[in-house]
Every structure is written in C-alpha cells, then in structure tokens.
Chains A and B, each alone.
Chain A
Amino acid sequence: MGLDIRLPVGIFFTLLGALLVIFGWAGDQGIYQRSLGINVNLKWGVVMLVFGVVMWALAHFSRDKHDRR
C-alpha cells in the first residue's frame, strides 16, 4: 500500500550501519574489552550497512520497474 517498507528499512539500516562503522573505525578502541576484543561496532556495522543498502536498492529498482509500466 503506497509505501514500500523496504525503503524505510533500507534507509534505517544504511544510516545505522554507517554510524556504527564510523564509530567503530574512528572511535576509542579501548571499549572492546567487554566484547572479548572484537570490534563489534565495526564488524556488525558493516553487516547492517550491507543489509540496509541491499534493501534500499531492492525498493529503488522495484519502483523503477513500476514507474516504467
């Protein structure tokens, strides 16, 4: 109905992933002791970023297809 839910989900996870990647990459590295030394912000941020971009792209391309018709 009207709005493709993949669009907000895609944008949300793209922003969230990007935020975590930047923070994990540039931020204080001393905070990862509690996560057993794993930079979970960077690693999981990449996963969420990829998921978000894929969802966004899916919504975008299916809208293009729809418009052409």
Chain B
Amino acid sequence: MSSMHPQLIDWLIIALYLAFVIGIGYALKRFMRTSTDYFLSGRSIPAWVTGLAFISANLGAQEVIGMAASGAKYGMATSHFYWTGAIPAMVFLGVFMMPFYYGSRARSVPEYLKLRFDEKTRAFNAVSFACMTVFSSGISMYAMGLLLNLLLGWSFDFSVLVCAGIVLVYVSLGGLTSAIYNEVLQFFLIVFGFAPLVYIGLKDIGGWTGLRAALAEVATSQGFAPGAWTHTWAIMGSSQANPMGVEWFGLAMGLGFVLSFGYWCTDFLVVQRAMAANSMLAARRTPLIAALPKMLFPFLVIVPGMIAIALTHHAGAGFALPAKAGGALNYDLAMPLMLIHYFPTGMLGVGLAALLASFMSGMAGNVTAFNTVWTCDIYQAYIRPSAGDRHYLLMGRLATLFGVALSVGAAYLAARFNNIMDLLQLLFAFVNAPLFATFLLGMFWKRTTGHGAFTGLLAGTLGAAIHHGLSLPVGSAPGVKGGWLVLLHTYPSEMAQNFWTAIVAFATCFCATILVSLATRARSEQQLEGLVYPLAGGAQMQAQPWYERPAVLGVAILTAAALLNLVFW
C-alpha cells in the first residue's frame, strides 16, 4: 500500500500545529491557581467555546477513523449515529438535564449522583467511569500508533509516546481550560482539514448522483437492494435488508434512545465541557450549539468512507482499500488513504495535522475527565478527604500523568476487534446503558432512592453482561463476542447484538430502580431541592425572551435533524 511522503512544508505545518498546542498550555499555566481553575476552568468559559469543545472532545479516533470506516462498511445509514442518536440526546441534555448538573454546583457527574442519591452510587459510577476513560483513550492511542506506523513509518512505540507526551504537557500545564481551548483549535483544524477532501472526492465521482450510482453497484454485489448504501430508514424494515444487520426498532430504541442518551447525557467526558460554562444559560446552550455543526458531520466524516468503498469497487479508479490478512477490507484506512489519494503536499500536511488533532482531542478529553473524577470523586472522597486546595491541584496534575500512563498501557491491550466503534459500543452498553435509566428516574421522579439507583445500576450492568453471554452475532465463535454462558440467540450482526444488550440493560435498570425505590425510604424534599425536576427550585430559569430560550433552539435543531432524516430516508 502507498504510504505518505510528506515534504518539508507538510512537516512545517505539523510543527506549527504542535507548537500552538503546547503554547496554549503554557499561556494558560499562570491562570491555574486553584483546583476549580484546573478541573472546571473556574466556570468562566463562553458557550460557543464550550460548545465546540463539547463536539471536539468526542471527535477522537473513533469518530474520524471509525465513522469513515462505518461509512464504507454500512453507507449512509451510519448517519443514524448523528441524526437519530446524538442530536436528540444533545437537545435533551441542554433543555432538560443541564439545569440540574450545573445548578447543583457538582464538579462532576459522579458528584451529582452523590448529591442526588448516595455515596455508593457515586463510587460505582466514579470507578467504572475512570476505567472507561482509560480504556477509550487507550483504544484511541492504539489506533493512532497503528496508523502512524503504516502511513509515516514511525514505530508504534514512538508514535504513542510522542502523542501521549504532548497531551500530557498541555493538559498538566493548563488543565481543563487548556484541553477545551485546544479542542476549539482542533475542531477548526479538523473541519478545515477534511472539508476539501469531501469536495474533491465528490467531484471526482460525479457528485451525489455519481456516488449513488457507484454505491448501487457496491450494494448489489453484496446481495442488497441498490439503495442500501445511500438510504437511512428505507432499508431498516428487516435486518437482512441492510449491511448493518439491524432493524428499525433495535436501531431506534438501542441506538437512538438508550446508547445515545446514555452517552451524551451522562458521560462526564462531554458533560464536563458544559459544566465549565460561565453561566446557567451558557451551560444549557453548550450542547445545543454543539448540535449545529454536529448535524453536518456525517458529510465530513461518513461521506469520505462512502467514496472510498465506491472507488474500491470501481476498477480503474486508481484507488482501493487494502484487504486485511483474513481477506476482509481494512475499512479503518478509508479516511487516511483518501487523504493520500487526493491531497497534494501542503494540504496533506493540513490533513495529517487534522488527523493528529483528532487523536489528541479525544485523548485529552478522556484525560481531563479522568483527572477530575479521580481527584474529586475517588481521592478526595475516599483516600484523603480534607487536604488543602493546593494539594488537590497537585493531585490533579499527578492524575493527569498516571491517567496518560494507564492509557498507554491500555493502548497495548486494544487490538482485538475489527472495528473500533464496535468495541466502544460494547463498553458503552455495559457501563452507560443502565446509567441513563438511573438519571432519567433520578432527575424526573423524586421518589427514586439511593438504594434503588445503586441496585438498578448493578442489575442493569449485570443484565447487559448476561444478555451478552447468552447471545452471539452470526458467524462468530463464543467468547469475547458473546455467547460465553449458553447460546440462546443469534443476532444478524454485532451491532444488532450491541443495541439489544443496551436495551436489556436499560430495561433491567429501570425496573429494578423503581421496585427497590418503592421498597426503601425516600429522601426529604428539602434534600432534593434543585436536584430533581419536580423540585427545580434554584435551578429554575430566569425568564428570557423567547428567541433566547434553550427549548426554542432545541426544537429548531430537532426539526433540522428530522428534515435530514427525511432527505436521506
């Protein structure tokens, strides 16, 4: 396969980017005086900045590489991760949930759980979340190491250590502010780096019409209807009719409701960005502002994958995805190979810097969430409760160091699954899917108790694990893919299995939480003031003119997302 041959100018551009990333960290160092500065940016950041950081923190390897890979593998239906999944969840977070996160003055999502429920619910969430961030960042780093090795000939160890080192420097210097500011820079770089690729790629293949015609060949050659790569809902009637192997109910419930809401509304990695906003209104607007560009991301990250698979099937196009050892195509290379194919030196440097930016923003997002949860919810809560603020600031910096070190360790463990996305979905399904049931009940039903929430979380996680142990995607051997208890059900695809695992986890947690809550004593209403919807209290909004209300913006965003679903039906 062709590897990149960056010239002097490409290296100059990459060096310029790295200099700015570290420079921002240095410039912010003198503002990091207290632990609040370090973990919450002193709650001083305007909404458009936190909004862009909100998207960027999630814009790691799984997004750029994984979404292009899924675009090649599944086609336009990958946009369900945005238009059916992320957008409605982000609107729900901004309109309904943010008042309680921000209004409670909690420093983290686990800390909110402590205020709303009890210590054990927080501990469970804090520990599982800390593990998950380390894993996610390890996966991201693994993908990066592999890619840089392939493209630039750097050794895996060198790539991992250099990128981890840079993230370590700028996060430990400037804390969350540095991560957020860099995420804004990275956001723009990613958009500017990939946008011309979409334009040139589409022009090459004859526009959307040409792409549709080319993808019809891809679809029919694999036994699907011609539109299987270009429609989103029309092909969801049965799991046999689309390459994802899912049907509309599993998709809408599993991805659209449980997984997306579980991720976007409860994952501290993204919620932390909104918590750093400078006012309640800014905090609520953060996910809404993020939703606007997020809605257009399928065109930026999925369409290049679709073009890549179309070119691969088109003999004489001069581009083909390479096959892996087993014979299957290496979809993960769709995005980087498209960059090499279309970008001349110069723009290639920008594309490569954008790729590095996506790896770093994802890693930094995980690291900042990890250092906060470790310091505030594990160290301060259970190991050393009453030290001075300087001590926690120092601990935050140390946590950044060993968070990065643990991620590097995790990177070496992350080599099992074909598609990075599937592994992440599996992790989210176990840890996050039951969590949304807990938040939904906790925020909107004041009768929910700490015992109920904790039992529900355990039951939900267990439910997810048992369901995974009883089912298997078609064509897989029992083991890490499922079926390790007894094989009761075979799913048409790994994604379908993941969606249903999430649905089972959510339902189990929801029922168990209600049952145990009803059997245990509720907290008094005074203790729940400002923490639950029926007792909004201080979290109640001041009146704004109608056009400034988050709900109005939310409805506009949902309408736009619905239109996109219709256009690509």
Contacts and interface: CB of A to CB of B under 8 A. Distances in A.
B529 interface: no
Given A1-B42, A36-B200, A40-B200, A20 B346 contact: yes
Given A2-B31, A19-B12, A23-B346, A36 B204 contact: yes
B16 interface: yes
A1 B44 contact: yes
A41 B343 CA distance: 9
A59 interface: no
Interface stretch (B20-28, B161-169, B294-302, B449-457): B20-28
Contacts of B342: 34-36
Given A12-B16, A19-B12, A27-B346, A44 B196 contact: yes
Given A23-B346, A44-B196, A2 B28 contact: yes
Given A3-B28, A8-B185, A35 B192 contact: no
B347 A8 contact: no
A65 B181 CA distance: 22
Interface string A42-63: 0011011001000000000000
B41 A16 contact: no
A57 B192 CA distance: 19
B192 A12 contact: no
Nearest to A41: B346
Nearest to A15: B16
B181 A34 contact: no
Q: Number of contact residues on A: which range applies?
A: 20 to 34
A31 B192 CA distance: 20
B114 interface: no
B45 interface: yes
Q: Number of contact residues on B: which range applies?
A: 35 or more
Given A8-B20, A9-B184, A3 B344 contact: no
Interface string A1-18: 111010011011101100
A5 B31 CA distance: 14
Nearest to B45: A1
Contact of B192 (A15, A27, A34, A44): A44
A6 to B, nearest CB: 9
Contact of A8 (B24, B204, B341): B24
Interface string B181-208: 1001100100010001000100110000
Contacts of B419: none
Contacts, number: 90
Interface in B312-338: none
Given A1-B44, A1-B45, A44-B196, A24 B346 contact: yes
Contacts of B12: 19
Contacts of A27: 9, 346
A58 to B, nearest CB: 11
B346 A8 contact: no
B346 A1 contact: no
A24 B13 CA distance: 14
A35 B347 CA distance: 10
B206 to A, nearest CB: 12
A27 B12 CA distance: 15
Given A1-B37, A12-B16, A16-B13, A36 B188 contact: no
B432 interface: no
Contacts of B188: 9, 13, 51
Contacts of B438: none
Contacts of B471: none
Given A8-B23, A15-B16, A31 B185 contact: no
A20 B203 CA distance: 22
A15 B203 CA distance: 28
B265 to A, nearest CB: 26
B498 interface: no
Contacts of A36: 200, 203-204, 342
A19 B344 contact: no
Given A35-B200, A40-B347, A3 B341 contact: no
Contacts of B200: 35-36, 38, 40
B400 interface: no
Contacts of A35: 196, 200, 342-344, 347
B279 interface: no
B87 interface: no
A35 B342 CA distance: 5
Contacts of A13: 188, 192
Contacts of A24: 346
B345 interface: yes
A48 to B, nearest CB: 6
B400 to A, nearest CB: 18
A46 B200 CA distance: 17
Contact of B41 (A1, A8, A41): A1
A48 B341 contact: no
Shortest beta-carbon contacts, A-B, top 3: A41-B346, A31-B344, A2-B31
Interface of B: 9, 12-13, 16-17, 20, 23-24, 27-28, 30-31, 37, 41-42, 44-45, 49, 177, 181, 184-185, 188, 192, 196, 200, 203-204, 341-347, 350
Interface of A: 1-3, 5, 8-9, 11-13, 15-16, 19-20, 23-24, 27, 31-32, 34-36, 38, 40-41, 44-45, 47-48, 51
10 contacts: A1-B41, A2-B28, A5-B49, A15-B16, A16-B350, A20-B346, A31-B346, A35-B343, A41-B344, A47-B192
